[in-house]
Structure 1
Amino acid sequence: MCFSKCARCIGSLLLTLAILCIVANILLFFPNGETQWSRENQLSRYVWFFHGIGGAGLVMLLPAFVFIGMEGEDCCGCCGHQTCGRSCAMLGSVVAALIGIAGAGYCLIISALALAEGPFCQTNSGWTYPFANTNANYLSDHSTWSQCNEPRNVVVWNVTLFSILIGLSAIEIILCLIQVINGLIGGICGACCGQQKSQSYAC
């Protein structure tokens, strides 16, 4: 079925995106590749929410593997009807897609909050969030980024990685929404086709 092929394609894309989200989140723990800041707990509070590792990463693996495992024409069926089995599988993928949307949504929200607050860094006044009350205006005013002395280039590091996580999680949400539609149509059409075949056999 074309619906199953579409689901497997979406699953493969989600698997790739989930791995990228996990990598991006891990990199947030090591500004400039340095480990001392995570050891000393001198990172943005939102880094510790594991939104890329958990939400858009590990949680997203569930729908990804469910979609990839869609058996399509080889479904064993239920109640002796192969089409019924395909229909149940497609409708079941909708639940997995909703779980994926929740995980990716969590990642998107946390990443957006992290960008709005800005990084935790050492300024001339000590360790603080220098951009917390700027309504994220620092994102367009690069001249203010020099307020952060340590970790070096932490603003660029955080803005880049959190932006990547926002983009990746947004794509994951779109793909999962597509699968919700695909699963509903595939499940309903599968059930209708199954009924039509049963009626034709009865004739």
Structure 2
Amino acid sequence: MCTGKCARCIGLSLIPMSIICILANILLLVPNGQTKWTEHLGLHVHLSAGFIGGGIMVLCPGISAVRAGGKGCCGAGCCGNRCRMLNSVFSSIIGGIGAIYCLSVSGSALEEGPKCLTGLPDKWGYPFQNSNGNYLRNSTLWDLCLDPPIVVPWHVTLFALLAAVSALELVLCGIQLVNGVLGVFCGDCRKRGGP
């Protein structure tokens, strides 16, 4: 596959993945789809790993990779796509860092569990903090969280989605990094009149 076509394919994959991360992060801000618990959100939600890391920091390399798959940056006969490929190399490094950030925060959030109301009067905390993620296999423990309702499945589903998507983003950014370096040194194999 040509470096340009490969870059375009990777970019068109990264863009929807970054949007999925942004949407998952937005949903984490409203547990159970309601805003009345926003003052009790956990640390991992406030870190906005899906919005910043898996979202914005990966959206930029996605757009850069799509542009690298386009026609030359300075007009016909100049540098071909080498300039855009070089830009996509640097963008892929930034995207990889963002994906690592999102993956590490999501993994930590899954291990620690959600912040929730655990007893009366108004005792908010992390009931699964010292369980080493064992609560993930034992759904009967989820009843320790009284409010927000269904916060544990909400938390687990969205952070697991963020972890999975950011792992894919990391792989794609790595592939585009290698592809971009090849594109800088070897150029694009497509003919000038081609798509």
> TM-score of the superposition, structure 1-length normalised?
0.85
Q: CA deviation at 1:72?
A: 4.4
Q: Which residue of 2 aligns with 1:113?
A: 108
**How much has 1:85 moved relative to structure 2?**
4.2
Partner residue in 2 for 1:50: 48
Specify the alignment match of 1:65 in structure 2. Answer: 63
Specify whether residues 6 and 71 from structure 1 end up closer, same or farther in structure 2 by C-alpha distance, changes over 3 A only: closer
Match for residue 12 of structure 2?
12
Which structure: larger Rg?
Answer: 1
Whole-Å separation in 2 of the counterparts to 1:149 and 1:72: 53
Structure 2 counterpart of 1:65, which letter? I
Residue number among 90, 97, 101 corresponding to 1:95 in the alignment: 90
Aligned to 2:193: none
Give the whole-Å Cα distance in 1 for the aligned partners of 2:68 and 2:184.
12
Higher helix share: 1
- CA deviation vs aligned residue, 1:90-143 (integer Å, no higher than 9, x gap): 233111100000111111111111111111111126211100011111111111
The answer for unaligned runs of 5 or more in structure 2 is: 190-195
Counterpart-to-counterpart distance in 2, 1:138 and 1:169: 23
Of 119, 125, 143, the match for 1:146: 143
1:155-166, aligned counterparts within 5 Å? Answer: 155-166=152-163
In the TM superposition, residue 71 of structure 1 has moved relative to its aligned partner by 5.3
Q: C-alpha separation between the residues in 2 aligned to 1:55 and 1:37? A: 24
Instruction: Name the counterpart of 2:27.
Output: 27
Structure 2 contact 102–162 (Cα < 8 Å) conserved? yes
Q: Summarize the Cα distance change of 1:127–1:14 in structure 2 as closer, same or farther, 3 Å threshold.
A: same
Question: Secondary structure of the equivalent of 1:149?
Answer: coil
Separation in 1 of the partners of 2:43 and 2:184? 43
Distance 1:88 1:69 in 2: 10
> Once superposed, which parts of structure 1, at least 4 consecutive aligned residues long, lie more than 4 Å away?
none
Amino acid at match of 2:140: S
Count residues with an aligned counterpart.
187
The whole-number CA distance in structure 1 between the counterparts of 2:81 and 2:67 is 12
Compute the TM-score of the two structures, normalised by the length of structure 2.
0.89
Indicate if the aligned counterparts of 2:71 and 2:80 stay in contact, CA closer than 8 A.
no
CA deviations 1:127-168 (Å, max 9, x no partner) are 111000111111111111111110001000000000000001
**Aligned residue identity for 1:150:** D
DSSP 3-state at the match of 2:40: coil
Instruction: State whether residues 72 and 80 of structure 2, in contact with CA within 8 Å, keep that contact through their aligned partners in structure 1.
Output: no
CA distance in 2, matches of 1:34, 1:86: 47
Structure 1: runs of 5 or more not aligned: 194-203
